[in-house]
Amino acid sequence: MKLIVNGEALEITATTLAALLAALDYEGDWLATAVNSDLVHKAHRAEFHLSDGDRIEILSPMQGG
């Protein structure tokens, strides 16, 4: 399935958000995820099923003003 992850088009076999993070080697407590512009809570990632064309944002703390 084709997904847009942090602006990049990827071909992915993972079907849930948690599986996607694992497949892309994301780990740690300092991540926030959104699918199609809506927050997906950490606790809901395992049961959140992805669909072809979904836009996923994976964010973490950075410098800011």
Partner 1 sequence: MLELFGTTLPSRLLLGTAQYPSPAILADAVKASGTSVVTVSLRREMAGGKAGEKFWALISALGTKILPNTAGCHSVKEAVTTAKMAREVFGMNWIKLEVIGNHDTLQPDVFGLVEAARILSEDGFSVFPYTTDDLVVAERLLEAGCKVLMPWCAPIGSALGPVNIPALRSMRAHFPDVPLIVDAGLGRPSHAATVMELGFDAVLLNTAVAKAADPVGMARAFGKAVEAGHEAFRSGMLEPREVAMPSTPTFGRAVFA
The phi and psi torsions of 17 (rounded to 5 degrees) equal: -65, -40
63: its two tokens: 């410098």
Least distance from C-beta 41 to partner 1, angstroms? 6
What residues contact 65, with CB distance under 8 A and at least 6 apart?
none
Least distance from C-beta 43 to partner 1, angstroms? 10
**Interface residue list for partner 1 (CB under 8 A):** 6-7, 24-34, 37-39, 41-42, 57-65
**Residue whose CB is less far from partner 1, 14 or 24:** 24
Least distance from C-beta 18 to partner 1, angstroms? 13
Are 40 and 33 in contact by the 8 Å Cβ rule? The answer is yes
